[in-house]
Amino acid sequence: MRKILLVLIVAAAIVSIGFACTTIIVTKGASVDGSVMTSHSADCGLCDFRYVYVPPADYEAGAKRAVYPFVEPYPRYVGADMGPTYNDPDLPATEPLGYIDQVEHTYGYFDAVYGVINEHQLAIGECTCSAKVYAQPKAGECIFDVAALSRVAMERCTTAREAVELMGALAVEYGYYGWGETLTVTDPNEAWVFEICATPDKKSALWAAKKVPDGTVFVESNLFRIRELDPESPDNMFSPNLIEVATEAGWYDPSTGPIDWMATVSTGEYSMPYYSLRRTWRVFDRVSPSLGLSPWVEDSFTKDYPFSIVPDKKLSVADVIDLFRDHYEGTEFDLTEGLAAGPFGNPNRYAGSSKLIKGSWERALSIFRCEYVFVSQVRDWLPDPVGGVVWWGAAAPHETILVPMYCGITDVPYAYDSGSLQEFDYDVASWAFNFMGNWAELKWSYMYPEIQELQKKIEGKLFAVQPAIEAAAAQLYETDPELCKEFLTDYVADVTDRVMAEVWDFNEYLITKYRDGYINIPNVGSSAGYPDWWLDAVGYDEGHIFGEDGYKAK
């Protein structure tokens, strides 16, 4: 019992931090090739960043399925129930909060802080949102958070609609803890937005879901996006208790018309004004500048931004990756400009620690405390092992290189399924990319363009060979599905080895070229100095005063 209580305390403490992520959906008709995409930047700063394969399994009739608590930063889970990667004999096993009935067969899937994609191309993204109620886990009574829900969906579902219905039913029946949460759920044909929060008595769940219209793009950035719900529409779903509970709580008056989900259950932007909506505006404005959307709105309950929009041009995976690397460049909110960016235009802004000066920084899509980012791509014209691919980046979007992880692979390379924040490891991708990004902060305007070139070079090659790799894999699948999976597993392993080698070579180049503030290539010791505008702003010219009697220190 003591161990269970400790797990609950840790879980509650970590969940209360709130994971400030961004998720983008691109529907079939909005993508260049008919893919359905979702995505997620895990902007938590303390995440267990591992990408783990959970193999399929079979169970006897009457078996029970354990539901485990949300625990971060590391390890998020220890035990044998989710495959060999999580089974560490040197660490105490995670104890469950409760149990549900098990099914006879569970699907294989890939796991991170949340379930990512399964063998049937069901994919999920996530972001935390504000809500009026925050509930704590309670063993045996309130056992599901959104991460646990996503994993059960991965094990049991093949379509987005099926996943939404299952997760909603489990949360209502077994209790939901945490704050507001959103999952973007996709399959090769549909995309759904699933939003959930706890009931006022903290014993159950309220949820709503909406299908993203085909041909449109959706974004959510820590603020619920579903508004009025139409009970007659097949493209809306919500918990059967929503109207009754919201009415009893005084959150909703049925005489006012259809229930506005976001206005009913949300407290608005939870960190500061425009912490959420600025990112929503930025994605929409980049995807469809013809709409002329304003970055300024009345408040966080605005309806100025549509649920989803038709893009001015159809998007590729590379386009979505580029959105995640955004720091508002070229706008009035550009984080690479101004005194706060320093002399070399560093867009990273750390949390303020002053007890005397209160304020906030602009919040961009790419943020230094992101532990991983991905864009999943699912396609109905390819067999499942080939059609589902997660473009995985093991660090913040601006400092990582995204590589393909097909849902048909049966082993994740060490570089991606291993490592922690407690120990530097040259063989772990997160550390390789994080080193590159952190070193670039010393002279951002010089180093980051070189990082961008490396990203374009490596990712460009991977995109260029993707059709050939997939054609070969699909052909293998027709005659030998297992050989197809082996082929893709070997391909991902080879890509990983090549990318890791190239990144460390590049890191050595960066530290050599920009050592001690100099630019040492092609000539060692060349000085770059500081830009004039910055020297003027910090009073460089007033650093020493020369008087008639000679030198005087200021």
Report how far residue 74's alpha carbon sits from residue 90's, in angstroms, rounded to the nearest whole number: 14
Q: Which of 191, 239, 231 is nearest to 211 (CA)?
A: 191
Helix, strand, or coil here: 406?
Answer: strand
Q: Say if strands 64-67 and 98-101 run parallel, antiparallel, or are unpaired.
A: antiparallel
Residue 43 pLDDT:
94
Residue 546 pLDDT:
61
Residue 357 pLDDT:
85
Could you write out the three-class secondary structure of 222-289? CCCCCCECCCCCCCEEECCCHHHHHHHCCCCCHHHCCCEHHHHHCCCCCCCCCCCHHHHHHHHHHHCH
Report how far residue 138's alpha carbon sits from residue 157's, in angstroms, rounded to the nearest whole number: 26
Q: What is the pLDDT of residues 59-101, one digit of tens each?
A: 999 999 999 999 988 999 999 999 999 999 999 999 999 999 9
Query: Which tokens hold the place of 89?
Result: 């004999």
Residue 300 pLDDT:
93
Residue 204 pLDDT:
98
Asked if 365 and 23 touch (Cβ cutoff 8 Å), the reply is no
Q: What is the pLDDT of residues 250-265, one digit of tens each?
A: 999 999 999 999 999 9
Residue 263 pLDDT:
97
Please, what is the average pLDDT of the chain?
A: 93
| pTM summary value | 0.94
Q: What is the mean pLDDT of residues 165-189?
A: 98
Share of the chain above pLDDT 90, in %: 89
SS3 content of the chain, % helix, strand, coil (to 5): 35, 20, 45
Q: What is the mean pLDDT of residues 356-373?
A: 92
Where residue 358 falls among pLDDT bands split at 50, 70, 90?
A: confident
Minimum mean pLDDT among 280-289, 387-396, 539-548: which range? 539-548
Residue 12 pLDDT:
37
C-alpha 59, offset from chain centre: 32
Ranges assigned E (strand) in 87-228: 98-101, 105-106, 109-111, 115-118, 123-129, 180-186, 191-198, 205-211, 217-220
pLDDT tops 90 at residue 152: yes
pLDDT tops 60 at residue 185: yes
Report how far residue 467's alpha carbon sits from residue 462's, in angstroms, rounded to the nearest whole number: 10
Residue 528 pLDDT:
85
- Name 534's Cβ contacts closer than 8 Å, sequence gap at least 6: 339, 342, 343
Residue 543 pLDDT:
77
pLDDT tops 80 at residue 553: no
Asked if 111 and 82 touch (Cβ cutoff 8 Å), the reply is yes
Residues in the chain: 554
Asked if 429 and 416 touch (Cβ cutoff 8 Å), the reply is yes
Residue 17 pLDDT:
41
Q: Find the distance separating the first CA and the last CA of the chain, reported in whole Å.
A: 66
Minimum mean pLDDT among 41-45, 153-157, 305-309: which range? 41-45
Report how far residue 520's alpha carbon sits from residue 515's, in angstroms, rounded to the nearest whole number: 7
Residue 272 pLDDT:
76
546-553: which pairs have CB atoms within 8 A and are 24 or more residues apart? Answer: none
Where residue 16 falls among pLDDT bands split at 50, 70, 90?
A: very low
Residue 11 pLDDT:
36
Asked if 212 and 187 touch (Cβ cutoff 8 Å), the reply is no
Ranges assigned E (strand) in 132-212: 180-186, 191-198, 205-211
CA angle, 385 then 390 then 395, to 5°: 150
pLDDT tops 50 at residue 36: yes
pLDDT tops 80 at residue 460: yes
Ranges assigned E (strand) in 8-54: 23-26, 36-42, 52-54
Domain boundaries, the chain: 2-393, 402-518
Residue 548 pLDDT:
60
Q: Which of 269, 249, 162 is nearest to 209 (CA)?
A: 162
Q: Is the dihedral of CA 148, 152, 155, 158 positive or negative?
A: negative
Report how far residue 353's alpha carbon sits from residue 340's, in angstroms, rounded to the nearest whole number: 15
Helix, strand, or coil here: 499?
Answer: helix
Residue 3 pLDDT:
37
Report how far residue 198's alpha carbon sits from residue 407's, in angstroms, rounded to the nearest whole number: 32
Q: Which residue has the tokens 């159809």?
A: 314
